[in-house]
Each structure stands twice: as structure tokens, then as C-alpha cells.
Chains A and B, each alone.
Chain A
């Protein structure tokens, strides 16, 4: 038995885990080898040091925390876990929050409709009375008689300014504009309008309502309003299996064309800023998964610059562009990638 063999057995020797034969051979070697005896002593001392390490104690309150963790969950937690955990795809909390907000908005909206008449009398009617009498009837087209909330009231002054511009224009718009139709509707009784409104909202190919127009104008001033766009998203595929143009949703425009861009959201923002700068008005917007359709009214004087700037935002391909333009050019943009 070599020294190396003997030292390999030290651990078992210290633990008294050697078979009797192994132990006898080891003892015989140790009796004659001083180096191995010294090494064995160092080994014993090491093990003694390790075994002298103070025992660790669990932190205070450990037992209570374990018992608390082992306690069955109350029924409502089990219910929540039952609702969420078995699902192969968990419902993101953000999605749940969006649904809740959407329901809240719907409830508030329904409540608002009931106070429409009083809101109209309080805030909108004075603005209409201030409109100049010499203004042509069609010049008052944006008068938001169907708009009821405070935001629409704020828009009123801006729209009246637009009306004045139109009155001072050298020549009136050619042909019956969709705004005239809206104006006629605006002259109808409130009760009839309220009955008709849901139908208008439900039909994507109906002429744009004043409510939608106001909302898209709001979009032109800031970010796109998601609610009308979302509604169009939901309805467009049903009503237009293949979206190829804007005619299904808009009355004939003076100019229509396709704007091919890399980022549709950025392009929409660009168009909105452009419209604001040039005094154009965004009338309506329809979103589909493949394209966004935007209807604007651009002052004729600003039209050339509008088209130049449009070409900066993406590839502008006008499909229809008459040589003689009206004072207020109605432009329909199809924004695609």
C-alpha cells in the first residue's frame, strides 16, 4: 500500500467508514510512515474545523411565512387563477384595460346623446346666430348643428371662419357638394336626425356625417382619432371585399390619387400638419388594414404647394386631376405602403 493509496482513505478513516480489512492495512502503513501520520492529523484538524462551524438559524418569522404560503388561497384568488391560468394564451392586462375603457366610453357616449338638445341650445346656437347673413347657404355647410359636445362647440368658430373664406372666394364650388346634403340634413328636426344618425353611422358608404367630419378635423389638428378609424376597420372588409379606391366611401372628388409611403402613420401625421399649415380641412378618414383614405378640402391657391409637399411624404400618383380646379379643391388620398 503506497502513501497515495493510504491518503485516499483518510476521509473514510475519519468517518470510521472503512471495512475491517481496509482499516488493518491502513493502520499497518501509518505505523511505519511519519509523513502519512502527519498528513492524517492535518486532515483530522481540517474536518474538525469544518464541523465546528456554527449552525445556521432560519430568520425570525420564517415558520409563519411558510404557514401563510401553505394556506389555501381564498375563493376569489382561486377564481382569478382559474380564469387566467388554464388559458393557453393569457389575456394581457392591457387588452382587458382597453375593453374596460371601451365599455366606459360607450356608456358615457350613450349618456351624452340624451342631453344633446340642451347642449346644442347652450353652446352651438349662439355661434350659428353670429354667422353673417349674407353668407351663401352652402357656405355654412360645416355649421355643426348635429354636434353636441363641448369640443364640437369649440370647433364651431373655426368652421365659421372657413365659411367666411368660402363666401369671399371668387367662384362658388361647382356642383352639389356633399356638404350641401349635410346642410339640408342639418335643417331637419332634431328628432328625425337622431333617428337617422345610427343608420348613417352603420353604413360605411353613406355620406360623411357632421359628427364624423368634426372628428376627422380634430384628427387633422392633432393625432388621428382612433374611434372612427377603428369603426371603419371593422366595417371596411365587410362592405368592400377589395379596397381599390375611395369612391365606395366618398362622393366624387375633384382630385384623387394614391400616396405610397413607408410609414402610414408618419404620412398621416405629415398630411395633417400640411393641411393645418395650408389652411386645408380634413373632412373624413377611413382606415382599412391595407390603406387609409383621407378626404380633404384644399384652398385652390395652396393646392400646388399641397401636391409638392405631398410628393415629399411619399410617391404621389394622382389618378384624377382636372386642369380647372374649384376654389376649394376636394382631394381624396389613398395612403398605402
Chain B
């Protein structure tokens, strides 16, 4: 049921009716995606968990204000993106850059021993390249290429013009191409 619009509509309806299990279902359905956006943007697991938790608490408090003219997932991404960008620009952050530990954790996957080293190196380079993008380009890449949102959904979540989304995404991908050149065939 993760994120499908029919399920989302039903979930929103249950949330509005005060179904005690609805909020739990919402958190279960979206926990990884919200946490993923927070981690990619903030680069610190503890901070990402704190922010992801804040996203769900805001949804819990404000579900009555959700108009339903956007998808539930877009609303969640909008809250998560706004909180991340606010935090990154607030100057209150304890961790600014993606730490080596987080990079290693992000890159760790269960792969065979033969390809492990090469794979880990590529993954680390990928995560580092994404982490080094400017915040406004990074959020667009995260939402588009990692979370699979459409241009329209990104524009709605970030309250940007479609042309701005397109332009930022292109610049971000060009940056990534330069950073990942040695891994390209």
C-alpha cells in the first residue's frame, strides 16, 4: 500500500476520522522515504531521524488542514523538504557536511566479496557527489532521481515554477556528471 493514490485517499480519510491505527499505517508506509530525504539532505542519521520524526508529528497535528488537492506523498515530501532546507539555512546545525561515517554507512550494501570494494567506492563517490551539491540542487535531485517524483510534484512540494525545477535539475545532473566522470563507461 506504500504511497498508491487509492490507498492514500483511504488513509487520509481514516486519519481525518481519527482512526487510531491510521497514523501508525502512515508512518509505516512513508518512514523510509521521509527518512531518506532527511538523510540525503542533512547527512547525519541522528539529525535525519529527528527531522523525520518532526515531519510525522506535523502531519499528525495538521491532518485536518490537508485539503486533498495534492497527493499525500507530495504533502509529506513538501513538509520534509521545507524542514530540511530551513534547518540547512538556519545556522543551528551541528553537522554541515556529510561525515565519512555516514558516507560509509550509506554505501554499505550486501554484495559479493569480489565486487564489494569497487561497488563501495562507487557508492561512496555517488553519495559524496550528491552531498556536495548545493542545497537547492540537491533537493531537486533527491526528489526526482532518488524518490521518483515528477517535475510537477517537485514544483508543488518546493513551491517552484516548473521551469525552475527543470533548470535546477539539469544543473545538478551536470555537476554530478563532472564529479562522477571516472566511473562513467
Contacts and interface: CB of A to CB of B under 8 A. Distances in A.
A46 interface: yes
A27 B101 CA distance: 44
A49 B179 CA distance: 12
B114 interface: no
Interface in A45-94: 45-47, 49-51, 53-59, 62-63, 65-67, 69-70
Counting chain A residues whose Cβ lies within 8 A of the other chain, the interface size class is 20 to 34
Contacts of B174: 43
Contact of A62 (B52, B57, B146): B52
Nearest to A8: B170
Counting chain B residues whose Cβ lies within 8 A of the other chain, the interface size class is 35 or more
* Interface residues of chain B: helix, strand, loop or mixed (majority): helix
B45 to A, nearest CB: 7
A145 B172 CA distance: 89
Interface string A175-213: 000000000000000000000000000000000000000
Contacts, number: 100
A222 interface: no
Contacts of A15: 144, 151, 169
Contact of B57 (A11, A43, A66): A66
A63 B24 CA distance: 7
Contact of B177 (A12, A46, A66, A70): A46
A56 B24 contact: no
19 contacts: A12-B170, A42-B177, A49-B126, A49-B180, A49-B184, A50-B141, A51-B146, A53-B127, A56-B32, A57-B35, A58-B49, A62-B31, A62-B52, A66-B31, A67-B23, A69-B57, A70-B23, A70-B56, A70-B60
Closest 9 CB pairs of A and B: A11-B170, A56-B36, A58-B35, A58-B31, A46-B177, A50-B145, A70-B60, A66-B56, A45-B184
Given A15-B151, A62-B35, A69-B57, 6 more contacts: A49-B126, A50-B130, A50-B146, A59-B35, A63-B27, A66-B53
